Structure 1
């Protein structure tokens, strides 16, 4: 199940929906992203899961949000949580929406991809972002692979090195605004907030 972590999420979707913290510890990063984009901007939430709490908060802030996830079971819950929401069943590795957004978020989803798959995502991020658009994603703290048990399902995670992430971002014309390693106030998340340069 290394390549298809979303299949594990199909199995644990109900458990995840009940167990996922709703206290929005991600708020400082989401607010900083919002500060960099126009009011009412359109955001792509990659690996949106059930939509709670990140999708919910972005909607509350008046943003137009498109949620994408490869787990059908997670999106079924998302559609119940947000009957008027916009959700697409799609693998982020095959992203081709024909649309550019003011911001892309890949929070605790991007790091489920294998190293080479992560490398191949950066051109897709650029393709789907407007000039000066914002990219927010979480990664591991250092290069390596790991497995984490969630309700009986062993979920794969991987990370590139900090130096390689910076190189890949630079190659696609991104500037790193903020990089925090294992933020103790955000569940130990390692966070990247980046801005696409104008062409």
Structure 2
């Protein structure tokens, strides 16, 4: 599970330290650091989704990686294929790792929900497990913004953990986190409502390489914004 966003309201204690006032996803992924890459970077379905996207990008495409993590494998693969990458992540540790590991890409430490995105500005968008700690309304709103940020004819790949779950506590790599998701058909409907065509989808079970992580159901959607726009 890529849990890239948490609501500030999830921090309920008035006496928490300054560090704990950061978005919980930043605290979580700052702590996980390179361990996250080791656990997830070699997932076959993730690599396959990247290949699908790269095959459809024009030369020197402009791409957006939402929840860019350590920069590997997503940004690294896109750069290797000759494309420019803007990676956005809420975790400063992740952004620092990514900037060092994939110096050819641009990375910003920011909350994607608040980052301005110009219309028709990207040829490709990656959303790998970066919605799971947003509310359902936030996920829907962000997908609409990402669809509009795609150029007509552009492609988006999305991965999530499909489940009919709202603000539930789960254990992720040995750490308790709160997560929200949708069942598979509802995720597909959400993407289509955002103005994208789902060209194909792939469901799998993946076991992260980490002692605190168990097998997870993963859903990958391969999407396109129609040439006429949305």
TM over 0.5: yes
State the secondary structure of the residue aligned to 1:92: coil
TM-score, normalisation: structure 2? 0.75
Please list the CA deviations of residues 33-82 of structure 1 after superposition, one character each: whole Å capped at 9, or x if unmatched: 12222122111000001101221111111111111101111111111212
Aligned to 1:75: 95
Partners of 1:133 and 1:196 within 8 A in 2: yes
Counting only pairs closer than 5 Å after superposition, residues 35-50 of structure 1 correspond to structure 2 as 35-50=55-70
Q: What do residues 3-56 of structure 1 show as CA deviations (whole Å, max 9, x unaligned)?
A: 232321122224335x33443522221111122221221110000011012211
SS in 1 for 2:179: strand
- 1:27 matched to 2:27? The reply is no
The counterpart of 2:192, out of the listed 167, 170, 178, is 170
Give the TM-score of the pair, scaled to structure 1.
0.86
Gaps of 5+ in 1: none
Aligned to 1:192: 221
Aligned in 2, Cα 1:91/1:160: closer, same or farther, shift over 3 Å? same
Aligned residues: 197
Q: Indicate yes or no: 2:149 matched with 1:120.
A: no
Larger radius of gyration: 2
- Cα distance between partner residues in 1 of 2:25 and 2:104: 27
Change (3 A) 1:149 1:173: closer
2:161 matched to 1:140? yes
Answer yes or no: is 1:101 the counterpart of 2:130. Answer: no
Poorly superposed stretches of 4+, deviation over 6 Å: none
1:122 and 1:172 in contact (8 A); partners too: yes
User: How far 1:181 sits from its partner (Å)?
Assistant: 2.2
Cα deviation, residue 110, structure 1: 2.0
RMSD (CA atoms)? 2.4
Change (3 A) 1:54 1:61: same
Structure-2 separation of matches of 1:155 and 1:13: 16
Structure 2: tracts of 5 or more residues without a match: 8-23, 209-215
